[in-house]
Structure 1
Amino acid sequence: MERGSRIHQYRDKLWFVPAKVEDSGHYYCTVRNSTYCLKIELIAKFVQHEPDLCYSAQTMYIQKLIIAGNGQLVCPYLDYFKDENNELPKIEWDKDCKPLLLDNVNFIGESNKLIIMNVTEAHKGNYTCRASYVLLGKRYRITRMIELLTLEEERPQSPEIVSPVNETTEVVPGSQLQLVCNVTGPDTNFVYWKWNGSLIDDDDPVLVEDYIQVENPSSKKTNTIILMLNISEVKSKFYLYPFTCVARNKYGVNSAYIQLIHPVPSFQQHTIGIFVMLTVVITSFVFIYKIFKVDIVLWYRDSCYDFLPKKAPDGKTYDAYILYPKTLGEGSTSHSDAFVFKILPEVLEKQCGYKLFIYGRDDYAGEDIVEVTNENIKKSRRLIIILVRETSGFSWLGSSSEEHIVLYNALIQDGVKVVLLELEKIQDYEKMPESIQFLKRKQGAIRWSGDWTAGRSQSAKTRFWKKVRYHMPAQQPLQPSASGCLRPQGRLQGETARGGPRASRGAGDACPVALGWPVPC
């Protein structure tokens, strides 16, 4: 083929001037002499630029530059186009299909090279070097495509110990412990623990090393090594010297230590412990007090009465006014009468020293009931209301003038504290006055659980009477007298309900009790 042909051979090369897509195919090169023949098949592929681009990705030459510092791109395979003076053609550069300004500051053009100053990540991209040459009087275009990739500079880096960081840790003697040495760095393959200047013995039964290596997906040369030192028992000698982790690679060596120390008493832990203990104590005290409140209050009254501040006289004569049903049926009347006239005085007056006003016992015959009730309710510190189960017994509450006056004075006028006593379990309170229903809801009622057997003595130490005494005013403790009756310490009075002398039974029928009120013995 002549050199003027579009496809021709010049010396040892086959030229396509200009090249076309249809020139793609298989070509054979034969080399022979008198004794030897070599035939080589070559595949040539010619492509056009991709749409809207000035290049084809199939013809890219990849070149790499390291970030930080200067670098250069080389327009490849231009030596074939030197002129008769052996000079390369003049080259123009584009980046991403846009002309590149060679300002001799950021980019410098030199022969077939593009020098890039201070390579950064922003210099990545597709570069085009363009030149032209003349063949047989015709000028032809030469184009080369280069894809620039930037790389991080590989600098010598000694291993980095992430942990420990020259620290101390509190450890209880005799406990188990695991120390972790976390190391990262390129080509780090030599990590070990030391104690007291010596390596850990592989046969040591107390100190055992465990090795884990983790590869870094982003860099094959940088990996992470975790070396654990398992201590099965912390001995006293381990507090004398620190445990040191040492890491080496071809660039250097680093080390870090961890010192074991005895635990320091924590003020915060003590505070929390004290707070928890106080909480438990207070909760237990509240729980115990809720269960044994009545017993605690009565014990306090009996034990500390002499030490309590003396209260000014309140002008009251009676400790309690007893309001009870007086119009019940025959069967119920005997029960309530026995409780009101026998059991109640026996315990509260004889054993406890309280002074009661019981209508029908402590009033004078012929006295006006309204006047008597109104006068004596004002003289009483408590109002004890006796409740029974029978429906017919409900009608007495609030039905007579006495009950009206008593409830009014107790609940509205004088603010007397009311105590409800159930002689039997009462299922239905709806038929009772609203005032009684309100008291039941507010404070509840004390239910009798004793024995009605005649002649059976009652004790103030039973649960029922303790609850009654709890709601009664504080009373000076009683002491046995020579006559066998209980009397208050240091005083014996003989006043009556009306302030004058009161007829009493013979010495064999009555005993003087607290506040001098005669009751049946």
Structure 2
Amino acid sequence: MAFGSLIIFLMFLSKATFEELCPLHRSIDVLEGEYFFLCFPGSIQEIFPSKTYTVTWFKESKGKVNLIQETQRLVLSGRLLEFWPIELGDLGNYTYRLSNGTYNVTSQKWSLNVLKRSKDSCFNTNHSSMQVNDAGRSCTLKCSAVPHSKNVTIMWYKNCNIYDSANKEELIFLNLTVEDSGNYTCVVSLSYARRAFNVTSTTELMVADDAAEIVKLEIIEPEETYVKAQIGKEVTLNCTVFLGYSGAASFEYTLYWANKNINSCSESTKEEYSICEKEDVVFNSGNKKYVSKLLWIKTVKEEDFNSNYTCLLKTPNKSRVKNFTLKKGNPPDLPPHVFTTGIIMTIFSSLVAVLLAVLSVIFRVDLVLFYRDITGKDDTVGDGKEYDAFVSYLKDSIPTNVEERKFALEILPRTLEQQFGYKLCIFERDVSLGGAVVDDVHSFIDKSRRLIIILSRNYISDRVMYELETGLHKALVERKIKIILIEYMLISDYNFLPKSLELLPSRRVVKWKEDKSLPLNSRFWKNLRYLMPAKASTSNMRSHNDSVSPTSEEGTQATSVYWESKTFL
């Protein structure tokens, strides 16, 4: 305790010297992007005669105290903590600690507030001082932004325009005039690490002939003289007057609304009047003093839009007037419950639309087939074709293709022809022997609306290769036929197929699932009918009814959606 008291006493004795070495900042409000430094007053040699000591800086922010480490931007230089430059994140409380290994000295806290720079001005109104003088007197404005280093240049600005570039710390006015009023900003420039930095300070100088001269009628709200109003609604007009600065001499004034038949509003009588003025409200904003007088119009009428409402300020020397005019405003916003209901309905409608779109994609096959059934649509009328599809399949008699031949010669035609009314062209069944096979294949494919290719691992052979290549040419080049690929067996390697198959839409591939695909209402037959041309048939309606009401467990399982698309790589 005795040592701490001695330190405080020594610092007090050396106060003038310490301030000269390390000037105290007037304000701890600083602007972002500028050079700034913190330093502790006092002579370290007087506190610690020994030259062995350490200086440690700490920052307290959000309840946490952190040791400050030196960086390229934060420089610990003896008694100084320098910011090159200061940033918004540097806001907080700062302390230092001196230690010689035996004794520690900790300072009081500096509360540092970092302000944002103004985008529209060379200074921030919250980072300025005020000086009021009468005309005819002398005045000196001092640049408080000059840091400890004297190797700087100084430029003065008045209202953000260059005023004096003589590199001096003070502006001296020998005989002030009203025209000298304005915001004076000094910009101090210095360099560090080959970069230029600035420090600024601003003083607002007010010069008037007398105290009443600096009083002016100033509308705070609204900014315009036209006030929006609506018939049948109430409106309040606000007339606010600038009275001067806190601590300045007061003067007499009268503020009132000058219209006829305006009474004073009181809690007991205001309900009796459709229009009245309220009591003066005096308030401070920073170091400025204001008074506000409100005019309350209980119910706006049509004739009120043709009247002027006059706010009158009287001082011993002069009077000032400000007129207000009502203009019709926009219709009122929707009531909250109506707005909320509208938002809910909009969201609900959007969700329904999205759901319908998703369902239409998932069940597009069922929807198309249902549409064909109820409308009796028929795409085969008048197109000059004889067959609905030409069936291409493996024709070699090998032991492994018995089931495949049964599918091509029995299951496929029995279902498509007998149940759904399609007419197929199957070479072994419908083409007479003895003709030229190539010519017959070409002719019958021309007479067909679709080419059904039953793919399996044994499909490609000399007898079917021509059918496949002819169909691909007519589909991809001549655009005369559409190809439907049925993957009868699982195929793991498609390299044996022509590369031109890759150009076919993958959605034109259906996969046979053996027993699961047998029922008429299975996904396989629905997808196949979807790819076939629309054709009216009484069997179609019966098939649709079967798909809606399956009677067997196998049929019920077959209604599950299965649609596999495969590309041939």
By percentage of residues, which structure has more helix?
Answer: 2
Which TM-score applies when normalising by structure 2? 0.42
> Which protein has the larger Cα radius of gyration, Structure 1 or Structure 2?
1
